[in-house]
């Protein structure tokens, strides 16, 4: 994903000297990324990536996107990271890629089945890091949320465009 979260990830990783390539609904220039490709180009890009980080929203286009085919296209020894939505990944396909040794490992904070049951096989993989999804939880979040509400209310009263609008048809924020 090359939205706001993807851009933040790209900025941090780019600052560490990594070349970061993104995908989005359409190709575009974005200073946080070396390139942003169309989502349809993802299969052709997977074989070059040492790390694949999913920060995509859950839409009809992304549901189950990472399936057996996409994991087979990934570079052998790559690491898969999902901080987006659990249902973007078919867990059975991820387990198959881990079992085959195709993936060096994975880091996940979202899951196809949530909460992840204590008996789930993902808990037993030494090369898989699991964490709780804490997307908006930070010190001062209540104040920040209140400030954002007040700002949007003032924009609405002045007839200005609102910050962070969500396109309900697409299921995520507009850009």
Please say if 133 is a catalytic residue.
yes
CA 31/CA 20 separation, integer angstroms: 11
Given the residues 26, 40, 114, 155, select the one marked as catalytic.
114
pLDDT at 108: 96
Please say if 38 is a catalytic residue.
no
Given the residues 7, 37, 85, 90, select the one marked as catalytic.
85
pLDDT at 67: 98
Buried b (16+ CB within 10 A) or exposed e, 12-48: ebeeeeeebbbbbbebeebebbebbbebeebeebbee
Please say if 90 is a catalytic residue.
no
Got the DSSP string for 43-89? Answer: HHHHTT-SEEEE-----TTTTT-BSHHHHHHSPTTEEEEE-S-GGGB
pTM tops 0.85, yes or no: no
How large is the greatest C-alpha to C-alpha distance in the chain, in angstroms?
Answer: 58
Alpha helices, H only, the chain: 4-15, 42-46, 68-73, 91-99, 141-158
Identify the structural domains of the chain with CATH numbers, from first to last: 4-135 (3.40.50.720), 139-175 (no CATH)
> CB within 8 A of 124, min separation 6: which ones?
none
pLDDT at 165: 78
Tens place of pLDDT for every residue, the chain, 175 residues? 898 899 999 999 999 999 999 999 899 999 999 999 999 999 999 999 999 999 998 999 899 999 999 999 999 999 999 999 999 999 999 999 999 999 999 999 999 998 889 999 999 999 999 997 766 667 887 888 889 889 999 999 999 998 877 766 666 665 5
What are the tokens at 96?
A: 């198959």
């Amino acid at each position: 994903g090359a939205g706001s979260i993807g851009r933040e990830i790209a900025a941090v990783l780019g600052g560490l000297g990594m070349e970061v390539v993104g995908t989005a609904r359409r190709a575009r220039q974005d200073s946080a990324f070396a390139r942003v490709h169309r989502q349809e180009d993802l299969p052709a890009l997977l074989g070059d990536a040492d790390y694949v980080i999913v920060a995509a929203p859950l839409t009809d286009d992304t549901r189950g996107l990472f399936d057996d085919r996409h994991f087979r296209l990934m570079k052998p020894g790559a690491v898969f990271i999902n901080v987006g939505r659990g249902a973007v990944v078919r867990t059975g396909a991820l387990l198959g890629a881990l079992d085959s040794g195709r993936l060096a490992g994975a880091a996940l904070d979202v899951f196809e089945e949530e909460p992840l049951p204590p008996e789930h096989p993902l808990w037993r993989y030494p090369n898989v890091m699991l964490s709780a999804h804490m997307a908006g939880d930070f010190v001062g979040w209540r104040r920040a949320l209140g400030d954002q509400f007040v700002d949007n209310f003032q924009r609405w009263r002045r007839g200005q465009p609102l910050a962070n609008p969500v396109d309900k048809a697409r299921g995520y924020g507009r850009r």
